[in-house]
């Protein structure tokens, strides 16, 4: 992934020297979105905690979607021949609408709104034991965002984005046939949602200003 990010930077630098390019903001324009991790590391990663896409429904109005999925399983010795397995799953969904409000030959300014949903679950299992503690958490939110997208080439852009929103999180745990409600929280955030968290402290990790790389394919 680091080599991919370095190659993207090299392409951007070469084409930027060649001159300004037209922006992409017409009906039917489609892009895949990635979080850009900075010039120092030159890597790209998950957008809003997952895969991102942007499709222009009409000129200057685009549908945006972030979709994330993750699963893990950790197995450790638990004495004798027994083993302990801790498994977890996380799913996130963030659809939104973006409206462009200003543009020139290679920069687009925009505003928009999105809703966010995330769920996480964990389970702990030990061989020879019927007790399997489980936890689950749900995160819901709605937010506004604004930013600018710079096109050094026609098919590649770098953007900066900031947001304001409201998040609500709840959780529960079960063990030995007993279910217990966990903490429920609500908050107003300034920044950009980055990923969902679960377990005993559910919520959404909020980053500062988001830097996004977009790759257009049509």
Tens digits of residue pLDDT in 95-122: 999 999 999 989 999 999 999 888 888 8
Question: Does the structure show a pLDDT above 60 at 19?
Answer: no
Is pLDDT of 20 > 80?
A: no
Look at residue 139 in the predicted model and tell me its pLDDT. 87
Determine the Cα angle at 100 with ends 99 and 101, to 5°: 115
Domain range list for the chain: 2-216
If you average pLDDT over residues 12-35, what whole number do you get? Answer: 72
Identify the three-state secondary structure at position 79: coil
The pLDDT of residue 204: 57
Find which of 30-39, 182-191, 197-206 is predicted with most confidence, using mean pLDDT: 182-191
Confidence of residue 193 (pLDDT cuts 50, 70, 90): low
Prediction pTM value: 0.75
| CATH topology assigned to domain 2-216 | Porin (2.40.160)
In the three-class reduction of DSSP (H, G, I as helix; E, B as strand; rest coil), residue 6 is classed as: helix
Q: How far apart are CA 18 and CA 12, in angstroms?
A: 10
Which residue(s) pair with 197 in the sheet?
203
Written as one string, the DSSP assignment of 180-209 is EE---EEEEEESEEEEEE-TTS-EEEEESS
Give the pLDDT confidence score for residue 2 in this predicted structure: 46
Does residue 81 or residue 124 have the better pLDDT? Answer: 124
Contact indicator for 146, 108 with CB cutoff of 8 Å: no
- Strands 44-45 and 51-58, by their bridges, are unpaired
Strand partners, 157: 214
Q: CA-CA-CA-CA torsion for 155, 156, 159, 163, nearest 10 degrees?
A: 60
Burial of 196 (0-12, 13-18, 19+ CB in 10 A): buried
């Amino acid at each position: 992934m680091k080599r991919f990010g370095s190659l993207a930077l090299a392409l951007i630098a070469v084409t930027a020297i060649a001159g300004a390019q037209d922006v992409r903001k017409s009906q039917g324009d489609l892009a895949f979105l990635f979080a850009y991790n900075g010039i120092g590391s030159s890597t790209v990663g998950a957008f809003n905690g997952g895969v991102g896409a942007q499709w222009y429904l009409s000129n200057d109005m685009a549908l945006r979607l972030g979709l994330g999925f993750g699963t893990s399983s950790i197995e450790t010795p638990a004495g004798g021949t027994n083993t302990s397995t801790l498994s977890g799953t996380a799913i996130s969904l963030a659809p939104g609408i973006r409206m462009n409000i200003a543009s020139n030959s290679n920069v687009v300014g925009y505003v928009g709104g999105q809703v966010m949903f995330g769920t996480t679950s964990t389970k702990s299992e030990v061989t020879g034991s019927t007790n399997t503690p489980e936890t689950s958490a749900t995160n819901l939110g709605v937010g506004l965002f604004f930013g600018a997208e710079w096109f050094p080439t026609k098919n590649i852009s770098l953007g900066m984005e900031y947001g304001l929103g409201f998040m609500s999180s709840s959780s529960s745990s079960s063990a030995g046939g007993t279910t217990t409600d966990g903490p429920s929280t609500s908050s107003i955030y300034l920044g950009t949602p980055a990923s969902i968290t679960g377990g005993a402290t559910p919520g959404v990790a909020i980053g500062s200003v988001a830097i996004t790389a977009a790759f257009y394919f049509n």
